[in-house]
Structure 1
Amino acid sequence: MENSSTVKFFSLSGLQETRTNKFLYFVLTLLIYLLIILCNLILILTIIVEKGLHEPMYIFVCNLCANGLFGTVGFYPKILVDLLSDIHTISYGGCMTQVYFIYSSVLCEITILTAMAYDRYVAICKPLNYHAVMTSLMICKLLLFAWCFPLFSAAVLISFTATMPLCGSHIQKLYCDNWSVVKLSCVPTTLNNVCAYIIILSQMAQVVFIMYSYVLIVSVCVKSKEGRTKFMQTCLPHLLALINFCIATLFDVFHSRYGASQLPLSLRNIMAIEFLVIPPLINPIIYGLSLREIKRRILKVFDGRCKDSQGPTKQTRQQKNGNRG
């Protein structure tokens, strides 16, 4: 019998079918990861550089994209190494680190979306009080909540997991997650389960708050054409991001808790990584294309760079023509 003091490495499963085409899967995974980095960085840098975007809504969008990058750091570097290796293992410390990155990112996603929902509620339902409510101090408080609460919650959950003696070292997944490690425990996991359910309930409460705030927002927006336009421009992207994230998370929950071994391995892998691929890739695209101000600023930045690259050529031609004259 093993325990956590002797389990130094975990073996991971899920990559058996990739051995024959591992270079193809490696290239596809690398392209997806680079695309995630590129899309999120473009949006983050645009919001940081453009002073006209230093408003609460865009600040929250910037943090949402930053969280997307934060979460994928815990998954993609490791899976890229595994795709090129015949041995798929991870150290105990590496496993706990991966769990922390992925879980805290998932929790951060909901808290940031909650802060964004509150911002949109105040902007549309109480427009006259918006600047009085959404002050710099309030934005800092919302961001502290959006980051500190998930980071602390994930740390508490993992600390309980790390104290459990383990009777196995095989994780039936592409990566480490808390539930997969907990299932290897030699002792009852009541304390860990209670902590997990408290965290889940807190996340569900935030989803209920988001939905309730949007019921109020819709009730205000349907009264005028201007309100409907504002809803489509600023609130619809947020709802799409929320729906996208909830569906992706449900896939992982069903896979972790109720995943059946009789399902095809490829389908189980898709269910396991869907929330690590779709939300961080789709979110910057949704906001980049839907929010007119961000879209305009991104195009402005790229258009300015194109003009700068063409400028010296045109200027040189004019000087040559002047010299000839």
Structure 2
Amino acid sequence: MLNSTQVSYFTLAAYFDTGVFKYLYFMIVMSLYMLIICANVLLIVVICMNRSLHEPMYLFLCSLFVNELYGSTGLFPFLLVQILSDIHTVSAPLCFLQIFCLYSYASVEFFNLAIMSYDRYLAICCPLHYNTRMTSHKITLLIAVTWLYAYVICFVPITLSVPLQLCSNIINKVYCDNYSIVKLACYNTTVINIYGLTATALIVSCPVTLIFYTYIKILQVCFSGSKQTRQKAVSTCTPHLASLLNFTVGAGFELVQHRFDMSRVPNMLRIFLSLYWLTCQPLFNSVMYGLKMSNIRIICKNMFFA
């Protein structure tokens, strides 16, 4: 039996021998990572360097793009090393650091999408009071609370998991996951499970409540407003809804793998489903907002083709 003092590393059992194809997978993942870095950095620079984009919507987008870089950096370098490695192990401190990065990334992503829905609600439903309600102080406070709240709520379950006595050190995934580690514990983990469920409920319920409320109000305005109002609502809310749907579907894939037996699913498909929300969301957001937002699109075109 292993205990917490003996577990100095974890083995990631979801990897399989790909032979010479590992170099192909490495190049594919490296290309995806570089594309994510370039796209998000470009959009952050465009927003920061152009005063015309220093508006609430674009500042929230900037926070979203920074989070995409943060989450991608928590996954991709680790993934690239593991693809080339013959022994898929990771030290316990690095494993818990990755867990914190990925969990806080997901929390910030969801909270950020929630405050973006609130911003769209004010712009569409209260246009005359928008500038007085969405002040620079309020924007700073919303972004700061989003990041700090996500860090705090994700830090506690990890500190509860670190001292656990484990009966195994094998994680059946391609990256570190706190839920998978808790399942390896040699004794009852009711306290950690209760906190995990509570934290998940807080992470999900608050943003979901805000998103549902704001979109119900937006729909009411659309149905009772003019054609111009409906067009404005559609053009500004479509990228946000697409991003929210993409993230929710990806997170849903991950939750399904936690709760149900996926042993009959092909290994390659399981890996893809578990990585979808961490790899596709950062690229999806940058492409979606870069192409959909006319102001960003025009400035980028002027930068490269002027």
- Which range moves more in the overlay, 18-27 or 107-116? 18-27
The one of 246, 249, 265 equivalent to 1:263 is 265
Give the equivalent residue in structure 1 for 2:229. Answer: 227
Give the equivalent residue in structure 2 for 1:37. Answer: 37
RMSD: 1.2
Give the equivalent residue in structure 1 for 2:131. Answer: 131
Superposition pairs of residues 143-292 of structure 1, within 5 angstroms: 143-205=143-205, 206-222=207-223, 223-292=225-294
Q: CA deviation at 1:20?
A: 3.8
Q: CA deviation at 1:17?
A: 4.3
- Which range moves more in the overlay, 96-105 or 218-227? 218-227
Q: Deviations over 1:233-283 (max 9, x none)?
A: 211111111001000000011112324222210111011101111111100
Q: CA deviation at 1:185?
A: 0.8
- Which range moves more in the overlay, 77-86 or 88-97? 77-86
Amino acid at match of 2:54: H
Q: Deviations over 1:270-312 (max 9, x none)?
A: 11101111111100111111111111111122224xxxxxxxx
Compare CA radii of gyration and give the structure with the larger one.
Answer: 1
Gaps of 5+ in 2: none
The 2-side partners of 1:19 and 1:150 are apart by 39
Give the equivalent residue in structure 2 for 1:5. Answer: 5
The 1-side partners of 2:14 and 2:122 are apart by 46
TM-score (norm 2): 0.96
- Which range moves more in the overlay, 181-190 or 95-104? 181-190
The 1-side partners of 2:33 and 2:280 are apart by 11
SS at match of 2:218: helix
The 2-side partners of 1:183 and 1:282 are apart by 32
Q: CA deviation at 1:157?
A: 1.4
1:233–1:292 CA contact under 8 A, matched in 2: no
SS at match of 2:185: coil
Amino acid at match of 1:282: F
Runs of 4+ with deviation above 4 angstroms: none
1:123–1:130 CA contact under 8 A, matched in 2: yes
The 1-side partners of 2:173 and 2:91 are apart by 15
Give the equivalent residue in structure 2 for 1:57. Answer: 57
Give the equivalent residue in structure 2 for 1:76. Answer: 76
